[in-house]
Every structure is written in structure tokens, then in C-alpha cells.
Chain A
Amino acid sequence: MKIGDWLDQRTGHRAAVRWALDEPVAGGASFAYVFGSVLAFLLVMQIVTGVLLATAYSPSATDAWASVAYIQDEMTLGWFVRGLHSHGASAMVVVAGLHLMQTALYGAYRAPRELNWWVGVLMLGVLLAFALTGYLLPWDQTGYWATKVATGIAGTTPIAGQAIQEIAQGGNEYGNLTLTRFFALHVLVLPGAMVALFTLHLFLFRRHGVTPHWWLDREQLEKRTRPFWPDQMFKDTAAMAAVFAVLVGINLWNGGVALDAPADPSTSFDARPEWYFRPLFQALKYFEGPMEKLVALGLPAVLGGFLIALPLIDRGESRSPRRRWKQLGALGVIALLMIALTAVSFREDAGDPRVQKGNHEAEGRARLSRTLAKMFGVPAEGGTAVYEQAPHARARTLWREHCAGCHQGGKRQGPEIGPGYNSRGWIRDFLAAPSGPRFFGPTKIRGMEPVEVRGEELDAVVELVYGQTGAPDADAAKVARGKTVFADECASCHSMDDKSEGSAPNLGGRGSVEMLAGFMARPDHPRWFGKANEMPAFFDDLDRDDRRALAEYLVMLRGRPWH
């Protein structure tokens, strides 16, 4: 007995398959009817890619961003799977829109199919809820701030607004519970709802059959009837394949989707929602105050209400679009308006230098955080703690706070200290023009003349000073020669040991970690600048660890190119 027969005896599967495939399509198979099947395919693809993402994603405020960065940057083709999932959502919105327009055009909401239309509208709502909940999950700057706007809007609902917002975000503020709730919705509740609605949708559809072309009469419809399999199924599959090809193409072209820097509640971030929510985003720009709140809730409500009302406001015998131009016209105008608003929104952003600058900075932050995460891992505190992984992270913060103002940039008040500080090039340039604009120029210190030695002797002196920093690559022979030159040319003012005080700074150990840490604390010490000093003493403001961190940072800068 063949396996097919064995199975059929026990399950009766052949009858089920025949029921599924032998559906007669009145008026013949058509590309007009493919959108529903394409949506079903995309839904399956979303579920599969979603499950795969869920095997690596962690829905906690500490771990979420790091887990998505891990998927994106370290897991095999993680970027591709995530990109398919995100672009797949956009594809579903587009195809859902097409499906809606086609069924509306054909009058598929007319009796006896009103219920199926409403189930479809509900499914559209579930789709948008999917998109909204999914956008937050990476817990990056964009997802975090964009969703905050959305829950904020929900909070303006009259009477129950506060409660709704607190239920949605799991409390008084965004945090762990927000993410767990959104995750549960996105992965458990909404998929269940979608599958249930889809089953109902399919059942009702099969019960009444496809809504065929309005221009064919009963006789023509019958004559052109074809079976679902293979005629319609072929067109459905061709459409699925085409959509899939475009989706993969877009995914490859864009290298997946973006991941922003970790969510940072202390910053203000000009976030944008996904493109299909831009019509509302843009529309809200034209209203202020209480009108804005009204539109934020009212516009979606009115649109949803119109869709729901369609079967009731468009009743009659003929499905000819000419007889229904008012209702179809309204639908068309709404669609065009939404497309227009989306286009305007993107155009405005493209032409706004502030937005472009913000995007550029955001991209830089994203690149930095993702590189640090990949190289060093994210500390257990998660999210923004990743920045602490940068080498000299603490020193850089201290430098920006206490030192950069005087030692870098246009408003400098002291010698230029940055990449290349105490490199051979820096020392050479200093010796050539100690009071020049890059060194003591901005200060009142004028005591040192440009050094007159040249050639090998200059090289030797440079190497001697360079060696004082503790650089491991200082040339011992040159340093020895340098000591001789120093004795002739410099020793009249400068000492080079561990304690002498004089009219010029003692160059012993100059630029080493120990010297720099001590110098910062008391630059006015007689060993160094004494009464000529203009630099604040950081003995109180910076403790030993901070000074040491800064000193190590400055020694690291020595290895950077000096321009």
C-alpha cells in the first residue's frame, strides 16, 4: 500500500486537500486576487524570522540593545534575518494597502461579505500594532523615543488615557516592564490574534467565494471559471516570488536595517516613527495645543471609522465603480493624502539642516556603540554603559570637562595638547617656536627663545626630551648625544633631574605618567612653572586616580599623529 493511501485511510487528508485546492474561481484566475495570498506568505515569513530573532533576543532594558547588536553584528547573517523581518513589516503594510484598495474597488465589502471586510480591518489594526510593538524592542534611541511619543498620544485619550498609558508602558515610566509587556504583545498576543482572525477571514472568504470582476455577467463568470489550483495558485505564487525578490533585493541593497545607539533617557532625541506612521506624524505638525491632541486621536479614529462604515454607506445592486464614485473617491483621496503627507515629511527632513546634522551625529554614536560592543562586550549594566568600554573613557570625559577648553580649539589659553602631544614632531615644533601660537603664544610666558641647533644636534635634543616621557622606542645613542647638546644649549636655564627648581621648568621625566599626574595637581610648583604659572592647580578638583587616568591618556596621545 502506498504511503498516501495509508495516510488517507487514517486522516482523510486527500479530501481536505481537494477542498482546499478545488475552489472554483468565478470569472477565472486573476492577478487582482493575489494580494491576500502574498500577505499570508509574508505573515509566515515574519513568524519564521521572528522566531529566529527570538532565539537570540533578550527583552530586558539592560540587555535588549546589546542582544540586538549581537544579532546584527556577530551572528551569522543576523543582519539579514533582522533586515528581512523589518523590511517584511513594511512590505506587509504596502501589500495590505493594495489588498484593501483592490477589495474596496471590487465592492468585496458588499453583502454578504460585510463581516469579512470588518475582520480584514481588524487585521490591519493588528498589523499596525505589530509594527508599533516591534519598533520598541531593540531599545535603541529611535525605538525608545518614537514609542514614547506613541504611548504619550495614547495617554491623551479622554477619561481612560492615564490608565491606558500606564498599562501600556508598565508603570509610571519607561523601563523593564515596558519592554516585557511589548514583547509579550508582539510575540504571544498579537500573533495569536492574527492567526485567529486570519482563520476566520479564510473561512468567511471560502464560504462566499471570491468577489469577481464587476464587468462580467453571470453567464460570462460561469464560462470563465477556473480552479484555484493550479490557475490562481500559479498567479499567487508568481506574485509571492516577485514580492520576495524585491524584499531580498532591498534588504541586500540596504545591508539590512539600522540599529541606533542604546536608548539614553538623559538625551533628547528627534526620533521618527516608521514610514507608514509618517502621515500622522506630519499631520500633527499643522496643529497646536488641544487641536493637536484632538487630531492625534481623532484622525486614526475617523479613518478607522470610515473603513468600518464602508459596507454600510455603500449599499446597492451594482458593483460598478462608476456608481460608487463618491465612496471610492473618498477612499482614493484618503490614500493620496497619506502618500502626500509621507512624501512631504521625508522631503522636509531632507531639507532641514538641523535634522541632517542630528542624523549624522546619531549615525556616529551608533557606529561607536556597536563597535565597542563587538570589541569589548557590553557591561552588565547594559545599554549606555557600553561607552565606558572605550579605552580611556573616563579620562576622555575628564579631559572634555576640565582641560579641552584651554588646551584645544579656537579659544585656547594654553599650549595645544591633543593627538601627538609630546611626540617627536610636537617637541620639534615646540623647540622651533616656543612662544608660537600653538604653544605658549596664548599665555604670557615668553622666557624661552627658539632653539638654534640644527641637523643631528637638533635630532639628538628632540630625542632626549622624547626619551624623558618614558617612550620605549627612544634611541639610546641619540639620547646620549642629546645630553651633551643639552648641557651646552639648555642647561643654563633648565635642569633635568628629579628635584631641582630654577627659572625654567625642570625637564626630568617630563611627559611621563608620574610627572604629568603630579604636574596637574600643582603646575605652580617651583619645579615647573612657579610664579609664571597660569594654569589652575587641580589638586582639589581631581583625585589621584583621575589624575593618573588623565596622565595615561596623555601618554597614549603621544602615539597619535601630530599635524
Chain B
Amino acid sequence: MADERPTPQANRRRFLEVATLALGGAVGVVLSVPLVRYFLFPIGRKVVSSPDAPVDVCALSAVPADGRPVQVAVVSQAQRDAWVVRQEVAVGSAWVRRDRAGKVVAVSGQCPHLGCAIGFDGERFRCPCHKSSFKATGERESGPSKRGLDPLEATVKGGRVLVRFRRFRPDVAERIEV
């Protein structure tokens, strides 16, 4: 019967192979851990942020009495974008109108479908990207959007309209703030 015990050379070779792979693997793992953690930094982090406070968007007199919505730019005073802090930055748009009771209300200008800027055609809100349409009240009418326009907190102070701009997750039925 042939001697089936591995030769010393074969043993030595095997040892070197395993040791090389183990050492190399160890270096790879130790190197990867901090690099992967660094790469995953943005997950769950508010890298771009602006103060929560309501922003002055227009004069009260600019909101038509007949309930027609007007578009306003939401300009943040201190937007933090990674390392920079910017003054006077437009962070989004909103539509402001008077409701049936005459109270000033606002909706986000961002389409809840995939985030395009919506327009108003005189009768209803329409999104140019995928043709979602919403009633003048913001209620969902037709198209791919899964929910109506997102309402924003609007207050009136000293003849000015202030809006608290918030962002919500796109393409879901539930209104979840991001």
C-alpha cells in the first residue's frame, strides 16, 4: 500500500498557504472596518439642515381673498450643508392660500410622488413630471402620487405670513417627515 501520509514538503507548503491567506485576510479585514464605517457616514445623518423655525414668505396682503393659491419661495437664513453655512438660501417652495373660512393655510410645493415642483393651472395643482393632479385644497385627485399635497404650518404675524418648511418621504401613502 502506498504511504498516504503527507510529505514534510507538502505540510510545509500547506502551512505557508494557510498562513499567507490568514495574514492577508487579517490585514484586509482590519483595513476594511474603518473604511466601510467612514463610507457609511451619511446614513441617517442630517448633513443638509436648516433651522426649524417658521420663515417669512410673503405679506398677508399678497394672499388673494378669493382663495387662489400663490407660490412663495422658502428662504432659509442659515442652511448648514456639510461644512458650509449659507445665508439667504432658497430651500424649497410652498403654496399659500386662504381656505373656506378665510384662514391662511400652506402646502409644500414638492410633489409627494417623486419631488418635482408642482404648478397651479387656475383650477387645480398639477405636477409636470408624471402628471399627478390635486384639488385646490391639496387633496389627491389622480395620477401616480400616493397621497395629497403635504400641508405646512402657516402663521400670520405683524401682517406677514410665516411658513414652517418640512420635507416628507416621497412615493408613500403615509406622511413621514425626513
Contacts and interface: CB of A to CB of B under 8 A. Distances in A.
Contact of A241 (B13, B26, B83): B26
Interface stretch (A66-74, A145-153, A173-181, A358-366): A66-74
B40 A380 contact: no
Contacts, number: 84
Nearest to B16: A230
Interface stretch (B29-37, B64-72, B132-140): B29-37
Contacts of A562: none
A376 interface: yes
A376 B24 CA distance: 43
A376 B85 contact: yes
Nearest to A44: B31
Contacts of A241: 23-24, 26-27
B39 A55 contact: yes
A49 B35 contact: yes
Interface string B21-51: 0011011001100110111110000000000
Contacts of A248: 30
A77 B23 CA distance: 24
B23 A237 contact: yes
Specify the main secondary structure of chain B where it touches its partner.
helix
Given A49-B35, A78-B38, A377 B16 contact: no
Interface in A21-60: 45, 48-49, 52, 55-56
Nearest to B81: A377
A59 to B, nearest CB: 14
Nearest to B13: A230
Contact of A240 (B27, B37, B39, B87): B27
Given A80-B34, A81-B34, A66 B83 contact: yes
Specify the main secondary structure of chain A where it touches its partner.
helix
Contacts of B40: 76
Interface of B: 13, 16-17, 19-20, 23-24, 26-27, 30-31, 34-35, 37-41, 80, 82-87
Interface of A: 45, 48-49, 52, 55-56, 63, 66-67, 69-70, 74-78, 80-81, 229-231, 233-234, 237-238, 240-241, 244, 248, 373, 376-380, 382, 389
Given A48-B35, A66-B84, A231-B16, 14 more contacts: A63-B84, A76-B40, A77-B34, A229-B17, A229-B20, A233-B16, A234-B16, A237-B19, A240-B23, A241-B26, A248-B30, A376-B85, A377-B83, A379-B84
Closest 9 CB pairs of A and B: A377-B85, A66-B83, A230-B16, A70-B83, A230-B17, A234-B16, A234-B20, A77-B34, A76-B41
